[in-house]
């Protein structure tokens, strides 16, 4: 492992909502945390109530809930009161169409205010919400809509034609709602604007059992069809508390989560958690451009920023001088999500923003942050951080036995946290495969140090065994991006008769650098000086791009499949698919 740097942020602009992790964890009970969430009689609840209506019925009614800026530069803003009325209208539209509790309603939309509104309206109606990436092709759409049995899909003109290519294979799909006046009523489509205008702004919200399902997302694997991960209304307890303690959201904050609502971070921390805290959010519908992102921070005076390591590395590659052209002094707390954050990204953010990015670890299946770096504690560069209060975790072996401090093994969590997935849709057997004895097994390998910090090694099937030694690809990638020429890197193990596997790196260069054999040798020597002798890449390919999911994760399995001529599996969530 590389030399560990520890950073204590002395530039805190506010007292954190969690001043001390040990104190918050002492005698922590989820039953006590639930008391911060307003429930109905008999313990009934609805996450949309806690996210919007609690504020709309109180002193935050006229507070801005959302600033939304489209790719066209048009800016819209919505108060909590307005968002409540709009989501009520959409809930009434669904009831008019005959949607019942726990029916599935999906959205095939680019990011837009209508996506926020319809998601919340679906929860209010007691139905199950599901989001789809706008780049999905025919097969990806069919797999998800067929498996879920979605009865309604909300879409838009440029995307709806893809639905008609597969509609005959979707027996459960009854209604198509089209936003922005693009509906063809001759085909039985419903116009979003027309239906919303006619619907009442009053709706008697469905009072749900905490274990009733609220939303579902499909995740892709190496083989087989995407699996539908299902979450319950009870998850709002932890989604709220983690937004409060980890993102440190306070009443006067302006928060920006850059994640698309098509994946779990966008739903949990770009909608549910922050609004449950009553926080004003910024939504942006355009593509990534460093200048535009800095402009947004400046314009809205964003204080808390949650983004992905891929975006951070792209900002690093753009220029250290570019941020100097903008007033970014409003920023007070930065967090990252999606894949492990390289130490170089934390160091860079301290130099450029005067604030470190705080890495957060969680999964679609966990429903909220479980391991993280808090503003109240020192950061060990490259570490996942420490456990969220109420979470019990261990590093276990193949038999489910906990391993000692410093040992690498499977990262496992003791089940029972509120935001944990409740099932895999129509596939209980696949759900049970996640568990080993009394542990939920994450599929990640990690280790715990003497101070209780967790360290990511890799996905269980990504860890490389070379010359009898285990090497985590993330550690090699982190070392690679510390080289002045390297913008991004992906690392795999390549079979080798002598060593079992050798380490192969796929490297994207920063502007101004040219691929050459001499540069390869220079990079290899650089890594030899930072890591153990067996951990340097014996092969390096310079590439123009790396395959990533739309959540920003480098798809190492795809790099390996292409290198070895293996089946590439499901690619429906590929960024450029």
Do 382 and 251 have their domain in common?
yes
Asked whether the predicted pLDDT for residue 334 surpasses 60, the reply is yes
- Of residues 202 and 187, the one with the higher pLDDT is 202
Structure tokens at 247: 């993102």
**Which of 448, 483, 506 is the last residue in one of the domains?**
448
- H/E stretch holding 335 reads strand 333-336
Report yes or no: 49 and 214 within 8 Å, Cβ to Cβ: no
Q: How far is CA 430 from CA 227, 263, 291, 433, 435, in A?
A: 8, 20, 44, 5, 10
DSSP H helical ranges for 67-134: 80-96, 113-124
Do 443 and 470 have their domain in common?
no
**Which of 399, 420, 448 is the last residue in one of the domains?**
448
Domain span holding position 158? 6-448
**Which of 448, 481, 513 is the last residue in one of the domains?**
448
Question: 527 in a domain, yes or no?
Answer: yes
Q: How far is CA 565 from CA 345, 450, 557, 561, 572, in A?
A: 33, 42, 12, 6, 19
- Of residues 393 and 551, the one with the higher pLDDT is 393
- How far is residue 278's CA from residue 290's CA, in Å, rounded to a whole number? 28
- How far is residue 319's CA from residue 515's CA, in Å, rounded to a whole number? 20
- Radius of gyration for the chain, computed over Cα atoms and rounded to the nearest angstrom: 23
Question: 341 in a domain, yes or no?
Answer: yes
**101-109: average pLDDT:** 97
Question: 371 in a domain, yes or no?
Answer: yes
* Tens-digit pLDDT profile for residues 416-435: 999 999 999 999 999 999 99
Do 428 and 468 have their domain in common?
no
Which 8-state DSSP code applies to residue 323? G
- How far is residue 212's CA from residue 232's CA, in Å, rounded to a whole number? 5
Do 440 and 536 have their domain in common?
no
Structure tokens at 393: 């975790």
Question: 577 in a domain, yes or no?
Answer: no
pLDDT at position 466, please?
81
Q: What percentage of the chain reaches a pLDDT higher than 90?
A: 73
**208-232: average pLDDT:** 86
Question: 211 in a domain, yes or no?
Answer: yes
Do 402 and 484 have their domain in common?
no
Question: 1 in a domain, yes or no?
Answer: no
Do 501 and 361 have their domain in common?
no
Do 269 and 321 have their domain in common?
yes
Do 420 and 474 have their domain in common?
no
DSSP string, 210-279: TTSEEEEEEE--SSSS-EEEEEEGGGHHHHHHHHHHTS---TT-EEEE---TTSHHHHIIIIIHHHHTT-
Exposed (0-12), middle (13-18) or buried (19+): which is 437, by Cβ within 10 Å?
exposed
What band does 2 get if pLDDT is binned at 50, 70 and 90? very low
pLDDT at position 455, please?
95
Domains in the chain: how many in total? 2
CATH number, domain containing residue 471: 3.30.300.30
Question: 571 in a domain, yes or no?
Answer: no
Do 234 and 381 have their domain in common?
yes
Do 93 and 226 have their domain in common?
yes
pLDDT at position 577, please?
41
| Closest to 372 measured CA to CA, from 256, 456, 487, 458 | 456
* Tens-digit pLDDT profile for residues 245-270: 999 999 999 999 999 898 899 999 99
**440-446: average pLDDT:** 94
Structure tokens at 288: 């990534």
Q: How far is CA 189 from CA 91, 151, 415, 510, 548, in A?
A: 18, 13, 43, 48, 35
**508-537: average pLDDT:** 89
Give SS3 for 156. Answer: strand
Bridge pairing between strands 213-219 and 227-232 = antiparallel
Do 252 and 389 have their domain in common?
yes
Q: Which residues pair with 230 in a beta bridge?
A: 216, 423
How many other C-beta atoms are found inside a 10 Å radius of the C-beta of residue 571? 17
pLDDT at position 180, please?
82
Exposed (0-12), middle (13-18) or buried (19+): which is 171, by Cβ within 10 Å?
exposed
CATH number, domain containing residue 351: 3.40.50.12780
pLDDT at position 484, please?
93
Of 119-123, 309-313, 333-337, 567-571, the range with the lowest mean pLDDT is: 567-571
- How far is residue 171's CA from residue 159's CA, in Å, rounded to a whole number? 20
Give SS3 for 103. Answer: coil
Do 482 and 443 have their domain in common?
no
Question: 576 in a domain, yes or no?
Answer: no
| Closest to 345 measured CA to CA, from 506, 462, 487, 504 | 487
Q: How far is CA 50 from CA 45, 46, 417, 524, in A?
A: 8, 7, 19, 53
Give SS3 for 337. Answer: coil
**53-75: average pLDDT:** 96
């Amino acid at each position: 492992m590389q030399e560990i740097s520890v950073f204590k942020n002395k530039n805190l602009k506010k007292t954190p909502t969690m001043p001390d992790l040990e104190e918050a964890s002492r005698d922590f009970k989820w039953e006590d945390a639930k008391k911060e969430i307003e429930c109905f009689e008999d313990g009934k609840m609805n996450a949309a109530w806690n996210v919007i209506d609690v504020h709309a019925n109180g002193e935050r009614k006229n507070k801005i809930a959302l600033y939304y800026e489209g790719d066209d530069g048009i800016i819209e803003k919505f108060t909590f009161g307005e968002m409540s009325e709009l989501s009520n209208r959409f809930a009434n539209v669904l009831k008019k169409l005959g949607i019942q509790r726990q029916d599935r309603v999906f959205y095939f939309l680019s990011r837009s205010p209508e996506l926020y509104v319809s998601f919340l309206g679906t929860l209010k109606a007691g139905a199950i919400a599901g989001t789809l990436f706008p780049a999905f092709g025919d097969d990806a759409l069919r797999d998800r809509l067929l498996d879920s049995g979605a009865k309604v899909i909300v879409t838009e003109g440029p995307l709806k034609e893809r639905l008609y290519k597969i509609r005959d294979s979707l027996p459960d799909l009854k209604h198509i709602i089209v936003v922005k006046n693009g509906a063809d009523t001759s085909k039985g489509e419903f116009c979003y604007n027309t239906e919303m205008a006619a619907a009442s702004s009053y709706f008697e919200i469905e009072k749900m059992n905490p274990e009733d399902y609220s939303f579902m997302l499909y995740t892709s694997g190496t083989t087989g069809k995407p699996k539908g991960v299902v979450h319950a209304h009870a998850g709002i307890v932890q989604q709220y508390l983690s937004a409060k303690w980890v993102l440190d959201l306070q009443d006067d904050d302006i928060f920006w989560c850059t994640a698309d609502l098509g994946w779990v971070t966008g739903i949990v921390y770009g909608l549910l958690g922050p609004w449950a805290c009553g926080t004003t959010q910024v939504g942006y519908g355009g593509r990534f451009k460093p200048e535009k992102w800095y402009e947004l921070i400046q314009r809205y005076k964003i204080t808390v920023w949650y983004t992905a390591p891929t975006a951070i590395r792209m900002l690093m590659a753009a220029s250290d001088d570019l941020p100097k052209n903008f007033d970014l002094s409003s920023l007070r707390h930065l967090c990252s999500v999606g894949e492990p954050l390289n130490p170089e990204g934390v160091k860079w953010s301290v130099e450029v923003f005067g604030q470190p990015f705080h890495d957060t670890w969680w999964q679609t299946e966990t429903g909220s942050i479980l391991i993280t770096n808090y503003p109240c504690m020192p950061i060990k560069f490259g570490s996942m951080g420490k456990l969220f209060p109420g979470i019990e975790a261990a590093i276990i072996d193949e038999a489910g036995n906990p391993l000692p401090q410093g040992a690498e093994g499977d990262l496992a969590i003791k089940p029972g946290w509120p935001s944990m997935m409740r099932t895999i849709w129509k596939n209980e057997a696949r759900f049970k495969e996640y568990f080993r004895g009394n542990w939920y097994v994450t599929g990640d390998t990690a280790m715990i140090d003497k101070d209780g910090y967790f360290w990511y090694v890799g996905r269980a099937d990504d860890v490389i065994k070379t010359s009898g030694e285990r090497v985590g690809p993330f550690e090699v990638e982190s070392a690679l991006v510390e080289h002045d020429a390297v913008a991004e890197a992906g690392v795999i193990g390549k079979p080798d008769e002598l060593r079992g596997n050798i380490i192969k790196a796929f490297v994207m260069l920063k502007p101004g650098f040219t691929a050459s054999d001499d540069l390869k040798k220079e990079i290899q020597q650089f890594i030899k000086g930072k890591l153990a002798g067996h951990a340097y890449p014996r092969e390096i390919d310079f590439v123009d791009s790396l395959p990533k999911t739309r959540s920003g994760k480098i798809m190492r399995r795809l790099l390996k499949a292409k290198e070895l001529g293996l089946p590439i599996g499901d690619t429906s969530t590929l960024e450029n698919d």
